[in-house]
Structure 1
Amino acid sequence: MLLAALLCYAGFTALCLSMDRHHAELLGHKPTPRRRFGLKLLGWLLLSWSLWAAVVAAGWGSGLVQWFGMLMLSALLLVLLMPYRPHLALSLAGLSLLASPIAVFAQY
Structure 2
Amino acid sequence: MSNAHETIDNAVKSNDVMLFMKGTPNFPQCGFSGQVVQILDYLGVEYGSMNVLEDAEIRNGIKEYSNWPTIPQLYVKGEFVGGCDIVREMFQAGELQEHLTSAGIPTRDTAA
Q: Tell me whether the two structures share a fold, i.e. TM-score over 0.5.
A: no
Q: Which has the higher strand share?
A: 2
RCO comparison, higher one (Cα < 8 Å, 6+): 1
Q: Which has the higher helix share?
A: 1
Relative to the length of structure 2, the TM-score reads 0.29
Structure exhibiting the larger radius of gyration computed from Cα positions: 1
